[in-house]
Amino acid sequence: MIDSKDNKEPSLAQALIPVAGLVALLSFSVYLFGEDASYGPNQIALCVGAALAAAIGWRNGLTWPAIEDAIVAGITISLRPILILFSVGVLIGTWILSGTVPTMIYYSLLILDPSIFYAASCIICGLIALSIGSSWTVAGTVGIALIGAAAGLGLSLDITAGAIISGAYFGDKMSPLSETTNLAPAVAGTDLFSHIGHMVWTTIPSILIAIVLYVILGLNIDTSASADDLAITMRLIQENFTINPFMLLPVAALLFMANKRLPPIPTILAGAALAVVLALVFQGKALNAMAGDAPSLALGIFKGIWQTLFDGFVLESGNATLDDLMSRGGMSSMLNTVWLILCAMVFGAAMDYTGLLQRLVQTTLSFVHSTGSLIATTIGTCIGANIITSDQYIAIVLPGRMYKEEYANRHLDPKNLSRTLEDAATMTSPLIPWNTCGAYMAGTLGVATFAYLPYCFFNLICPVVAVIYGFLNFKISPLAPEGAGLEASA
């Protein structure tokens, strides 16, 4: 946003320069570095894009101190997700040490047939996310266990991650406990339950199509090929961890606290603390292995727990696949994700303060000529905001404020806008590697964003369904006459 009347308004060409530069560098990043692109190359691309935006702002009359202050303010938006990330890193490490994750993996291997695994993973994550309203919590707990089970069954981790994210975002989107589900109607100017009821029309068909696709993928699995790997994995888990239902207490505690809407960071840390207690009681073998050559057993156990908190758990079973799966967690495991988020927020803040983002947004309004094009433009803006600002909350709030008046001018009920915001902004946030959601999912599940993206069927289908509805004028509610209350049809 321009801070003085003496500053020039940016042109469309200027607004496109940082975006074009970022897209070009990100493309080269993926081409040159592949799955390692998010471990440094993408961060540099984002910083270069921010530098281009800042240079244009400076040319238009903004001062560097003002731009710098705006960037610092933009970074502060990401501090809460960063604290959650560090807490999740602690949680992952302690849940492996305590046997919680190994127990979930072991029981999953017992009850989930490979042919239905992908569909079941989607449904399980969807139901849990629906009950607690948090896709991040589901991915960081049940999601990790399902990734481990997929590895044990010899299944695709990319497809499994896609199924986990699809289910988690379905539940998050439809839950009245979700932050985004409350934010979207607040921005659009409608009530929560009208919003949820209206979302049913785009959400339910999308998740059903996604589940059918996961079932089809499961039918093509050669279940006989995974039998030997399954037996080996289950034996190694039993050899290295104590497996019993008590190990699931941290899961129950976390879900209970989340369902009670307790703050996320204390909730996650409480789950980690309970896991440490269980490790001390049940996981003697794992603790002894972590103790190493410490002067005494007690000091070694203390050192092992401490190391798990900051650098994660390390397993040395002799099986490379299982060791790679179980050697994770700790605060340090989230450092690269934090780096990516910080660079993304720098770019988003620079684009916003220099007025380049607003210039791009104004241009999109020129393409709006009908209800269908309005919804398509809203979706495109949400996706663009997710890409440029790297934050799903901004991707909801910014287009919501921009298009609220336009929906009213076209006599469209505001719940159409709130539904569209969720169909686009919420759904596409985990599909962008440098978005806070995409960075979190990749870092937590251990699968690169571009690797799982083609299999996030629900997230990909939902925006398409929304656009189709818009152009067909299907389930698009008109604005209720004044005094008609909430009687407009869904």
pLDDT at 51: 96
Report which of 471, 365, 386, 377 is spatially closest to residue 420, judged by C-alpha positions.
377
pLDDT at 35: 66
pLDDT at 224: 60
Mean pLDDT, contiguous 10-residue spans, the chain (490 residues)? 65 92 84 78 90 94 93 84 84 90 84 87 90 83 88 89 96 85 86 90 96 92 64 84 91 82 85 93 84 77 91 85 81 85 85 86 79 92 86 82 84 93 94 89 90 96 95 89 46
pLDDT at 164: 96
**Per-chain mean pLDDT for the chain:** 86
pLDDT at 142: 86
User: Helix 79-97 to helix 297-311 angle, to the nearest 10 degrees?
Assistant: 140
Structure tokens at 86: 């560090």
Give residue-wise pLDDT tens across range 47-104: 999 999 999 999 999 999 999 999 998 888 778 878 887 888 898 899 999 999 888 8
Q: With beta carbons less than 8 A apart as the criterion, state whether 208 and 428 touch.
A: no
pLDDT at 38: 73
Distance CA(154)–CA(160), nearest Å, equals 11
Structure tokens at 447: 């699968």
**Three-class secondary structure of residue 354 per DSSP:** coil
Structure tokens at 38: 């998010």
- Share above pLDDT 90 across residues of the chain, in percent, rounded to a whole number: 39
Q: Where are the domains of the chain?
A: 12-34+51-63+347-472
Give residue-wise pLDDT tens across range 63-72: 999 999 999 9
Q: Which residues, 6 or more positions from 114, have their beta carbon under 8 angstroms from its beta carbon?
A: 153, 154, 155, 218, 221, 223, 226
Residue corresponding to tokens 């007025």: 355
pLDDT at 226: 58
Distance CA(211)–CA(118), nearest Å, equals 8
pLDDT at 17: 95
